[in-house]
Amino acid sequence: MTIAASDDGVRALIEELQSAGNLPADCLRALEAVPREWFIPARMWVQEIADGTYQPVDRTEEPDRWLAAVYANRVIVTQFDDGATEWPEVGDRPTCSASMPSVVVGMLTELDVRPGHVVFEVGTGTGWSAALLGHIVGAQGKVTTVEIDPVLAAEARKRLEAAGFTEVDARLADGVADVLPDRVDRVIATASVRIGQFPYPWVAHTLPGGVILAPMRADLASGPLVRFVVGEDGTATGRAADMQVGFMELRSHRVASDPVGAQRFDDPSAEVTYTDLAPWVPLLADDHRWPIAVAVPSCRVNVWERTGDRPGVAWLRDPLSGSWATVVPERKGRYVVRQFGPRRLWDAAEAAYRWWVERGEPPLSAWEWTVTPDRQSVTLPPRSGR
């Protein structure tokens, strides 16, 4: 669709978001007042074709295509490889993006931010979310947003100032290590947090009854957007919201890449056992994967499809211990398991999955997250009546 003017684009985007469900009044007013195009660079990357590859788009050369992409409900990548890859080249890892508008609106709804609130945002990115927050909290509230990348921070600050959001305090800072503003009502992270590494200062600086919204992840699984509520005792407890998100990691939580499946899947040094559990069942569905991610949080997975003479293979690898496992079909209903290293990864994965099945296959929203000054846990509370 070609969009002739930005006003048309704003209206079309709002209509699309409204068609998917109720759009809170504060979010609606913010979307009308803060056009997304104000915060998208002239050069960007978008996924426009079925194979999911990123395509460069330049506003100067293709203004209609650029504007149509800006007002589509899609992710726009604004940086690859921490800025090492320059437009129009496509890099290996997206490191900054403008999230899908439906995700932004969903997160603002879960955050329940209101006029007069003091908000701390971790991950300024393009600055659009900070501007939306600034519009919602109004003159009586305050938004502090931090960005660890100096180039991104400077660009976002310029966009916020140009858009008139001078009251939004946009800082170059590490949202994990640096000092937070005093006593806030809301914290929102737009980068994923590893389980067990939730920054307790976010809790300590949030008023009792305040909300912290953060996407959580392990090496094996990502996506649960967890809504924490801070208690009077300084403990934050949370449940996963009813939406899946995909965010880049906090830079301080990144780990080095470690290829899964680099060695032979039939390595003779491995211990051989058998299972009747098809590995694709627990490893390829979000709800199924999560109990395994909690049981072996540093485990990574890869699944090879069957091609030619190579059988389908499920790989698991733990870079911390050097352990690995493969599961390969032998015949219908029987799979060969090879495991190597101090951890028996498939044994742990299968036990966690079967435990979850015995519990009735509860969804992600059933898990309970707890963060205290000296302990962090992800648990599945007992079923009622048991």
Where do the domains of the chain lie? 6-252, 271-358
Q: What is the CATH number of domain 271-358?
A: 3.30.160
Alpha-carbon separation of residue 233 from 201, 204, 236, 265 (angstroms)? 14, 10, 9, 50
Number of H helices, E strands in the chain: 10, 19
- Say if residues 76 and 70 touch (Cβ distance below 8 Å): yes
Q: What is the pLDDT of residues 289-326, one digit of tens each?
A: 889 999 988 888 888 776 555 568 899 999 888 899 99
> Are domains 6-252 and 271-358 of this chain identical in fold?
no
Query: How is residue 334 annotated by DSSP?
Result: E
Position 182: which residue type?
D
CATH level 2 (architecture), domain 6-252: 3-Layer(aba) Sandwich (3.40)
Whether 338 has a pLDDT exceeding 80, the answer reads yes
Residue 99 bears catalytic tag: yes
Q: What is the pLDDT of residues 229-269, one digit of tens each?
A: 999 999 999 999 987 777 777 776 666 656 555 566 677 88
CA 227, chain centre distance (Å) = 13
User: What is the dihedral sign for C-alpha 255, 261, 264, 265?
Assistant: positive
DSSP string, 42-98: SEEEEE-STT--EEEEETTT-HHHHHHHHTSSS-EEEEEGGGTBPTTS--SSEEEEE
Give the percent of the chain with pLDDT over 70: 92
The pLDDT of residue 320 is 84
Total Cβ atoms within 10 A of residue 106:
22
Query: How is residue 21 annotated by DSSP?
Result: S
Catalytic residue among 6, 19, 97, 99: 99
Whether 1 has a pLDDT exceeding 50, the answer reads no
Question: Pairing state of beta strands 323-331 and 313-318?
Answer: antiparallel
